[in-house]
Structure 1
Amino acid sequence: MRILIADDHAIVRRGMKQILLEQYPSADIAEAGDAETLVAQVVEGGWDIVITDMNMPGRSGLDALHQIKQIDPTLPVLIMSMYPEDQYALRVIKAGASGY
């Protein structure tokens, strides 16, 4: 399984990676610290799932989600956020996210 984690906080990426590796020890997990890197890695392809923050430098997670879905409409994308569900959940699900 290939998992791509995107968040502008390295500690969040490391923590998420550690949790995922405990459950999926053979997973290939890569990290992106901003939306530009995230999209570039999606272009390279081969991911089974993307887990991305809603708020990153340069571009929002929602903007990145739109671009990811143009590149690979079938790629599952989970959005993590500190924002309340009622602010963004419906918007990201309508934009193609698999979960919020």
Structure 2
Amino acid sequence: MTIRILLADDHAIVRDGLKKLLSDEADLEVVDEAMSAQEVLEKIDNPSLSFIMLDVSMPGANGLDLISAVRRRRPDLPMLVLSMHKDAHFAARVLRAGANSYLSKDIPFDTLGGAIRRTAQGGRVIDPDLIDALLSHDRPDQNRPLHEALSEREYQIFQRIASGHALNQIADELSLSPKTVSTYKNRLMEKLNVGSTAELVKYALEHDEIARSSLSTD
């Protein structure tokens, strides 16, 4: 049975390379492409699709929000995230958001076909370099970055504040009241041990969390 793939990545050279490599696999077919979050959401309802391979760093939406939106629209669609971020903390959030599998883009291609097939069959594939870190992710560790203690909602708001979004804008995006967003902001700043928005942004830059948020709306 052919696995019919929606390939979502904003870099044409990446899509072209993956399509060429996957074309040699008789049971794998790229039937559609998307280069933005908007295109993903426009194309995801196509009933002929049986798989999505997604880069979370695309323009138009926060990557974690996009994964959640895809999962709501197509709850049974197997999803493999292929990301530039080789980070167990981020991978854990991606998997919690609804992705089935997570691989970094530096994996050897000969492992990708098998990962797609295993994910399509209901399995889970995780970048082997991240497995040990993921297994220990929820264990107490005084050396872990402070932002790993944030809840999912706190992390969403943290990313948006760090990327320059106003509280009212965040409230609209997340369907929350400005007062609730402000409460979350105060709570997460306490957890991060920062006393101002400027310190929060500095912390985010030091930990690459602004780049990781993929919040461009271009």
**Which fold has the larger relative contact order, with Cα–Cα distance below 8 Å and residues 6 or more apart in sequence?**
1
Dislocated runs of 4+, deviation >3 Å: none
Query: Match of 1:40?
Result: 42
Cα displacement string for residues 70-97 of structure 1 (whole angstroms, at most 9, x for unaligned residues) = 1111101111111123231111111111
Decide which structure has the larger Cα Rg and report it: 2
Query: Match of 2:22?
Result: 20
Query: Match of 2:70?
Result: 68
Give the number of equivalent residue pairs. Answer: 100
Stretches of structure 1 lacking an aligned partner (at least 5 in a row): none
Give matches, 1:80-99, under 5 Å: 80-99=82-101
Q: 1:68 to 1:62 in 2, by over 3 A?
A: same
Q: Is contact 2:4-2:28 (8 Å) kept?
A: no
Q: Which has the higher strand share?
A: 1
CA distance in 2, matches of 1:26, 1:43: 19
Q: Which amino acid aligns with 1:59?
A: A
Q: Which amino acid aligns with 2:6?
A: L
- TM-score, normalising length from structure 1? 0.89
The DSSP-based 3-state class of the residue aligned with 1:38 is: helix
Q: Is contact 1:3-1:27 (8 Å) kept?
A: yes
The DSSP-based 3-state class of the residue aligned with 2:6 is: strand
Q: Is contact 2:5-2:30 (8 Å) kept?
A: yes
Q: Which amino acid aligns with 1:90?
A: A
Q: CA RMSD in A?
A: 1.6
